[in-house]
Amino acid sequence: MKFTDLVKGVSSILDKLAALCIFFVMLLIVANIFLRTVLNRPILGTYELVGFLTAVGVALALAHCAFKDGQIAVSLIMERFSNKCQTMVSFFVNLVSLGLWAAVVWSLGEFAQTMKIKGLVSPSAEIPVYPFIYLIAIGLLGLCLVLLNKSVVSFRQILGNGPAKKVAP
């Protein structure tokens, strides 16, 4: 199995988990509205859970979005350069991005561990915060895998070992 296929599979799984998070956000909001209006019994911690699940959903979806080049790319200037130059810029942008996001993942892991040790919980529902921080770190780790894959692909193209295609940083 090629590394690209592995990254594609991981990003796809993370995207499905992100979709589940957003689905549960929708379900929670609808259930809370229903219970609040019909039974006058809202779900405790809805606001907190919606915030946590939305943050996790966005983080988990980033890898798939990056793999599919779903982000906005400003290519007005870059499209004027040769494919080789575009590939080199893409390589360096992806490599720098990888370094920055890897540092974020590391920091989030340390932060989650600190929150676990301190026993930090949400204010009203008293839900532990650290699992959500770890899930966000996992989503961003998936993004790091995609950026690593893109860097390797760009590097191979620079060396002439990969398929020549137009890439956007």
Query: How much is the pTM?
Result: 0.89
Amino acid identity, position 120: L
**106, part of any domain:** yes
Instruction: Tell me the sheet residues that pair with 121.
Output: 128
Model confidence over 48-105: pLDDT tens digits? Answer: 999 999 999 999 999 999 999 887 776 778 888 888 898 999 999 999 999 999 999 9
**96, part of any domain:** yes
**How would you class 117 by CB atoms within 10 Å of its CB: exposed for 0-12, middle for 13-18, buried for 19 or more?**
exposed
**167, part of any domain:** no
**13, part of any domain:** yes
**2, part of any domain:** yes
What is the tally of structural domains in the chain? Answer: 1
Structure-token pair, residue 56: 């996790």
> What is the domain range of residue 17?
1-159
Q: How many CB atoms are located within 10 Å of the residue 132 CB?
A: 21
**169, part of any domain:** no
Helix, strand, coil fractions of the chain, as percent rounded to 5: 75, 0, 25
